[in-house]
Structure 1
Amino acid sequence: MKMKRIPAAVGLLLTVSILLQLILYYQSSRSYVTRGQQPVTNATISEVQTNVIKQGASYSDDLLIRMSDSESLVYSVPNLGKRFLTIGIPTIRRQNNTYIFETLTSIFNKTAEEDLRDIVFVVFLADFNTEWKTSMAKYLYERFHIYIERGVLCIINAPSSFYPKLDNLKSTYGDSQDKVKWRSKQNVDYAYLMRFSKNLSEFYMQLEDDVVASEGYYNAIKKYIAEQKDDWICLEFSELGFIGKLYHSRDLENLSRLILLFYQEQPVDYIFVYFNVLMAQASRRIHKPTLFQHIGIESSLPGKIQPLKDRFVGFRKKKYMGDNPPAHLFTTMRTNPDFPVEAPYLKSPGYFWSHDNLKENDTVTIVFDNPQSIYRAVVETGAEEYPTDMIYNGELNACISLDFMDSTSAKCSNYVTLGRFVDGKIDANNISSKMGEFKTKCIVIRVTKSQPFWAIIEEIAIFTR
């Protein structure tokens, strides 16, 4: 389930006090986790477990989960102590594609060796088809047995008794019964995975089985956690759906209860936002650049194609890191607040993405607070994720006069052309020889020919003497 526009939550917020009580005191009669037998001890990593599994002898009895002989399929993790982070990944069958192998390969390849001690990955085989689960567990073990044997990767399965009836469900949002059943089961999958994982680590992050990770994702997560100056409930490392949502593990029990309470009424994309608000986090905290890109085209809902991409994954550290003296930036192009015109000029990650197709004489104008002696200027357009979204026809001008400026626009004059775009880039050197004794008050990027698509300006670097 990927992110849609969040509906008005006014009615729900009016019942905050009631729902908080439900979250805190929701009775165990709605809990589908069964307790009972003693945990298996000294289980071998490569053995398919068909009894009750407990994730480490020191953990809470709440992790005891009864598995039937026909359905149980768990490659367990030895007790290596409580980790820093659990990454939960549910996976089910798709009709024509399987992405989980690419997802795990990407994550493991981009996790430093010393960081593997701090993370446990829990892959939940969430399909009802026993034959598929058996073969998938076998394939996962064959390809990733090193991580299983090291206690990094755990593969789990839920008993069918955990699930409520998924027939004749309440229809909301005009969804078909097939879609309501799919998203309702998905909600229960998430709740199960959270309850299984709640005592494994300090933090828990939800992923999906059709994403790839960015380089350095783990250090970026730790750094963002450390940067928070106040209490928080959820940090987000993807803008899409329920991908990359990070919680304190202590909150997983309450979150899973809310998911189970509304499993047939609401998609999880909405429930987690409601939960954040109920827990007093009023606004979303999305780390940019985001760290996980969605790669799945075929949804796990049969017949659904969903080629969504996270717009913020392409943000990277600036390459040129110019001097970029204080300035005001303006553009004649329609903008998106997520990709402001100032972004390519700042030294922090981010770029400008026009909200419309480019038209002849569209401009980006940089007005320096004080005139500058410039010797080099670089403008780079396009991005690794969107290499064709560049300025194909344009020029870079240096102006010595500012005719007009207000809060939304500026007009500069008396200009010298510094260069023209070639393959989406201008790198103008020896500017001093062109400007003579005059200092530059404005730099203007001007589109010289309309193009039938938008453009990204990834970096503007100005070098001064």
Structure 2
Amino acid sequence: MRCSIKHCFRISMLFIFLWLFTILKVLEENEDVKNVVNNHGSKNSSKSLGDWQSITSKYLKEIHQRRKTWLTVGITSESREGQNGLLDTLASLYHASSTSEQRQMTVLVHLADSDPTWLRRTIFHISSLYQSQILTGQLLVIHAPPDAYPTVNNVQNEISQEQIYSKQNVDHAFLMSFATKLSTYFLLIEDNVFCAPNFVSHIRSKVNYRKPSTWVLLEFSNMGILGKLLHSRDLPLLAHFLLLFHKERPLDWLIFHFRTLLAQQSPILCRPFLFYHRLTHFTFENKTLTGHEEDLPDPYTLTGTVYTDMSFSDVHSPQEAYTLDESFFWSYSISSGNYLIVILNNPANLNRVQVRTGSIMDGKYILEKGQVELGYEPEGIPPKCTSFTLLGRLVQGQMDQLILKSVGYEVSCVKLAVNANQVGGLMIRHIYIWGENSRNIKDDQEDDES
């Protein structure tokens, strides 16, 4: 067994390095790739794009004979200090899709960064984690060389808006050009997202529903370029369009304008949204409370573990309800008496608790009837609070409650309880807690007395 795992790992590493090396070699040896971007405003630009398209199509045909899938998920990724957004996104993609859905899907990743250290590290991680997907052709990794990008004049020798536009547009033109013949449909996402469970089936049902009518772009998120679905047959034209105006406009503007040029005047938003950004830095804006509340410390300074008796998938676990990013807990089956509870590692003196349920965009999947309780005196392993006090009931799936000192003293549990059976899913976006560990407070008091 050890030998076979080692053998598969070596094959996958060889495959992905061969893939990247061949792409680099083919593109570097073909002068027309430079002409695509350098002559993007000339009459020959459509010919150059056609050459670029033929290169990628020929490479796919010769290197990897594969069947056409239903959907290609396209991701462009760059290095970001201290972040592993791409790996998290790939994990979410595969965890959120069943085996049958994965057979319908090709994941295409464009590593759009010239840093060799980052490239080697990223390739190593991807090949280590996704050997089977690489070997079966379900996961493809590509890289465009630096000379495939245009030169944007900059007098001040600083990164300009034109350079930012140009880099992003050319990155995605390359991605789309490569993806043209991989599948029937193309889904554009980003490298820092969470995916809803069974997103492939949800997208397929929306496409089937709209088959009698024509469409250019379906949107499964209203955030920038995230979650945009296109026909693969339109990708060569869109890639050409991005190259023509690569430094004039941002990518999202060009994609939406492309949609109108192809006669779809109004956006088609498909709810519920299936993709959400994973935030790197948390920013909290309190717009509901006034007075001295701004002096309270940041939420979630208290460590704890989350438990629930609701059914859930591995994609959106209970712990994701108690984080500061845009992850969330999701359950399909809700009954009266169900609960989700945060058990703090140490008792705390709480000042405030905020609970948010439901989709942030359309308000669906809220907890229709529920309440928040504070628990005390935990016992057992794992610990369970032996007594609870009602803090407040949710109104339209939300609650933001300041806590009296007498009630918030030495709290060990914060429990969200379901008060009625509910049809459909439940999304718990977050539970935020403000407070201080009572153990730390006691230590400080003892230090002062001594």
Q: Which one-letter code corresponds to 2:15 in the other structure?
A: I
Alignment of structure 1 residues 268-287 onto 2, 5 Å? 268-287=251-270
d(CA) in 2 for partners of 1:61, 1:183: 21
Give the secondary structure class of the aligned counterpart of 1:45. helix
d(CA) in 1 for partners of 2:69, 2:155: 38
What count of residue pairs does the alignment treat as equivalent? 284
1:246 positional shift: 0.5
Q: Which one-letter code corresponds to 1:287 in the other structure?
A: C
C-alpha deviations, 1:428-465, integer Å up to 9, x for none?
Answer: 89xxxxxxxxxxxxxxxxxxxxxxxxxxxxxxxxxxxx
Give 2:242's match in structure 1, choosing from 246, 259, 266: 259
User: In the alignment, what sits opposite 2:166?
Assistant: 184
TM-score, L = length of structure 1:
0.53
Alignment of structure 1 residues 236-385 onto 2, 5 Å? 236-297=219-280, 319=334, 349-350=364-365, 381=395
Taking a change above 3 Å as real, the CA distance of residues 98 and 77 of structure 1, as seen in their structure-2 partners, is farther
Give the secondary structure class of the aligned counterpart of 2:110. strand
Q: Which one-letter code corresponds to 1:230 in the other structure?
A: S
Give the secondary structure class of the aligned counterpart of 1:51. helix
Taking a change above 3 Å as real, the CA distance of residues 423 and 113 of structure 1, as seen in their structure-2 partners, is closer
User: In the alignment, what sits opposite 1:17?
Assistant: none
User: In the alignment, what sits opposite 1:36?
Assistant: none
User: In the alignment, what sits opposite 1:133?
Assistant: 119
Q: Tell me if the contact between 1:381 and 1:424 (Cα under 8 Å) persists in the aligned partners.
A: no
Q: Which one-letter code corresponds to 1:198 in the other structure?
A: T
Taking a change above 3 Å as real, the CA distance of residues 310 and 278 of structure 1, as seen in their structure-2 partners, is farther
Q: Tell me if the contact between 2:16 and 2:141 (Cα under 8 Å) persists in the aligned partners.
A: no
1:141 positional shift: 0.8
Taking a change above 3 Å as real, the CA distance of residues 257 and 61 of structure 1, as seen in their structure-2 partners, is closer
d(CA) in 1 for partners of 2:254, 2:52: 27
Give % identity.
27
TM-score, L = length of structure 2:
0.54
C-alpha deviations, 1:407-446, integer Å up to 9, x for none?
Answer: xxxxxxxxxxxxxxx97778489xxxxxxxxxxxxxxxxx
d(CA) in 2 for partners of 1:101, 1:79: 26
Runs of 5+ unmatched residues, structure 1: 1-42, 55-59, 67-71, 171-175, 300-307, 322-337, 344-348, 354-378, 384-388, 394-421, 430-465
Taking a change above 3 Å as real, the CA distance of residues 147 and 309 of structure 1, as seen in their structure-2 partners, is same
1:255 positional shift: 1.1
1:44 positional shift: 6.6
Taking a change above 3 Å as real, the CA distance of residues 62 and 128 of structure 1, as seen in their structure-2 partners, is same
1:86 positional shift: 0.4
Q: Tell me if the contact between 2:279 and 2:326 (Cα under 8 Å) persists in the aligned partners.
A: no
Q: Tell me if the contact between 1:206 and 1:244 (Cα under 8 Å) persists in the aligned partners.
A: yes
User: In the alignment, what sits opposite 1:25?
Assistant: none
Give the secondary structure class of the aligned counterpart of 1:166. coil
Taking a change above 3 Å as real, the CA distance of residues 121 and 426 of structure 1, as seen in their structure-2 partners, is closer
d(CA) in 1 for partners of 2:128, 2:415: 45
Larger helix proportion, structure 1 or 2?
2
d(CA) in 1 for partners of 2:200, 2:142: 23
Taking a change above 3 Å as real, the CA distance of residues 156 and 428 of structure 1, as seen in their structure-2 partners, is closer
Taking a change above 3 Å as real, the CA distance of residues 244 and 47 of structure 1, as seen in their structure-2 partners, is same
1:79 positional shift: 2.2
Q: Tell me if the contact between 1:211 and 1:295 (Cα under 8 Å) persists in the aligned partners.
A: yes
1:350 positional shift: 4.9
d(CA) in 2 for partners of 1:195, 1:106: 25
Task: Give RMSD over aligned pairs.
Answer: 4.2
Asked if residue 91 in structure 1 is aligned to residue 77 in structure 2, the reply is yes
1:164 positional shift: 0.8
C-alpha deviations, 1:139-174, integer Å up to 9, x for none?
Answer: 21112122101211011011223211133299xxxx
d(CA) in 1 for partners of 2:367, 2:242: 37
Asked if residue 390 in structure 1 is aligned to residue 381 in structure 2, the reply is no
Q: Tell me if the contact between 1:100 and 1:209 (Cα under 8 Å) persists in the aligned partners.
A: yes
Taking a change above 3 Å as real, the CA distance of residues 208 and 163 of structure 1, as seen in their structure-2 partners, is same
Alignment of structure 1 residues 94-173 onto 2, 5 Å? 94-168=80-154
1:252 positional shift: 0.7
C-alpha deviations, 1:217-266, integer Å up to 9, x for none?
Answer: 11111011111141100011111110110000011111112211221111
Give the secondary structure class of the aligned counterpart of 1:190. helix
Give the secondary structure class of the aligned counterpart of 2:399. coil
User: In the alignment, what sits opposite 1:453?
Assistant: none
User: In the alignment, what sits opposite 1:51?
Assistant: 22
